[in-house]
Amino acid sequence: MRDFPLNIVSPFPAKPAANGHAAVHIAPIGDGFVFHVLGNAGATEGSLKKLINDIAPELGGALCSPSPHQWFWIGSCEVSQDRFAEILAKLPDGFAMTDQTHGRVRMAVSGVKVRDVLAKGTMIDLAPDVFAVGQSAMTQIGQIGAMITRTDDDCFEIMVLRSFAVSLWDELHHMAAEFK
């Protein structure tokens, strides 16, 4: 349990939405929450999903797994500190959870050329028939560890550690520069 309120500040420049790439749109995702859930060896995604439905159905959100028995629970609504404490208190043995909303930064990359842009940095196959909508993968963009999730046909969400966010942000703009 944290002892002081987390101050969530965007790591991006003042007007991050201003990017001039016609075929690619890069935007930060400022709202929402990121919880990191750790499970013991018996924990499954199904059991965690059921648990979430039982204790916090109003939050919704999605689970993506960076590693066995670990999940990022990511959603778009704001969660107060008190509500987080409530959820934490209801979590049974075998699960542990920390609020990572301040520590992980999400950004949305979309557009018809999005795969050409991401292909310059990441080595996994993001082809539409291989990487389905909703699928996610923990990988690297350049040398920066990032979680890539496909949210729609030509839309991807990228989540990185906060300290890498601006660096990746600049890199993405360089990668997208040819589509201006």
139 contributes a contact to other proteins by CB under 8 A: yes
**Residue 146 burial class via C-beta count within 10 angstroms: exposed 0-12, middle 13-18, buried 19 and up:** buried
What is the per-residue DSSP string for 17-63? T----SS-EEEEE-SSEEEEEEE-TT--HHHHHHHHHHH-TTT--EE
Residue whose tokens read 């201006």: 180
> Which span sits near other proteins by CB under 8 A: 24-32, 106-114, 119-127, 150-158?
119-127
**What's the min distance (Å) between Cβ of 65 and other proteins?**
9
68 contributes a contact to other proteins by CB under 8 A: yes
Q: Are 12 and 166 in contact (CB under 8 A)?
A: yes
> Which span sits near other proteins by CB under 8 A: 20-28, 93-101, 102-110, 122-130?
122-130
137 contributes a contact to other proteins by CB under 8 A: yes
124 contributes a contact to other proteins by CB under 8 A: yes
What residues make contact with other proteins under the rule CB under 8 A?
66-68, 123-125, 137-140, 145
